[in-house]
Structure 1
């Protein structure tokens, strides 16, 4: 029996099942007929809006003769699919499950990004992103892969129906010289250009006179029209997605708290323009 879902693992599981089907060059209706399932049900499975049972998943994998590590990974998702939060080792851009999970960006109505120490990924220039990845000790091929994925993710800000994006950037992220001056200057110019887009609200949070909870780290809040919000937390080697009510409510409150302390959009642009010069 399936139930309404939308948890992080449900989205990753659905994407994994779709990848298996497409790799075997099967259409949705073709697979539904082969397994004697309603086509609409398979659509929901792959979208992550309803979750198949572990037996259903095993049947799909058995039909396509998926074995070894791929089978283990997908079955592990299926066994834990209804858990609201998900923490996994690895960088979001390259871990298969988490790369898939970033589909949440595609369906978001509003994204709020609190960036404490770095320019948000959705607003990074290729050179800025590359400088960060290279300084992290990644190989050329790993760096190239991450930059490509990051640039692809950024399309949600500039496509025909762009999402509404609110970026709160700590002043430290503006001042921190994470790359050579020319890269930082280009990055600031890019921020100024993006801040002019009607779907983007970009504000700088000045240094505060005392402690505030945003000091504990950056986060991204994805909000939707027909499902609960998702919170993304990223560290050096761990990425977490939170979807339980108690978590996203607290992060939404924190976003509002931080937003109330920021400079105006005009004053924020003045700070960024000065940093670009």
Structure 2
């Protein structure tokens, strides 16, 4: 008889770089991996028994990478080696097409690959070269994929607290005959945001969620909005406030909960509408990515 065993997989960028897991109430913390090079985005493929994460490396250098381990932390493997991606940020596992997607901040692009790290592609390119790299409005950070709608979503955060952040959308695949730098199908969904970071989708309710690191009142928040906003309805709904540099977000639609991390070292949980907010862990270092997973009894941790 199988049981629903939930885990949160969380990245800590401080303390030498760690991947750990906890129960949804914050108990049972288990460190799975240490020595990660500034880890940022994490994703779980329960069916294959793998946890993936991005390493930013040194942001000013082109030395980012993506690694993978089993659910119990064993068999650590680098699948995208250092230098193939510049500064990889949020990571998304797309289960239908079985690919990994990520935002590459200083690389100024959105990328994807096969689950073994092969066939690395650039889907969006917002700039080229050192001069463009200085323009933080070009930096791609968060990423999410909607296979049913055929769309790729990403955030361009803009300078810190500048109110120049954007969330954009395009087709999952490049239009025929077009390049990542010159796509005709890019749509700006939201602009003038404080500093949007990680994205998540509630596919059933067709809602887009994201964290924002910018200044209050609209920054250091969790927000949501329709995935297909009408022109007249482009004001995001603020669900959580007073985060300490909010970064990671993951949804459990079946359980009706969200989980959020911040650089202040806290993990928060709340209802999908922002109600019943709780801190389940505090003072855990500089927390970045987080992923919720439902494991099969007897597998993994």
TM-score (normalizing by structure 2): 0.27
Write 1 or 2 for the structure with the bigger share of strand: 2
Which has the higher Rg, Structure 1 or Structure 2? 1
Higher RCO, 1 or 2 (CA under 8 Å, sep at least 6)?
1
Write 1 or 2 for the structure with the bigger share of helix: 1
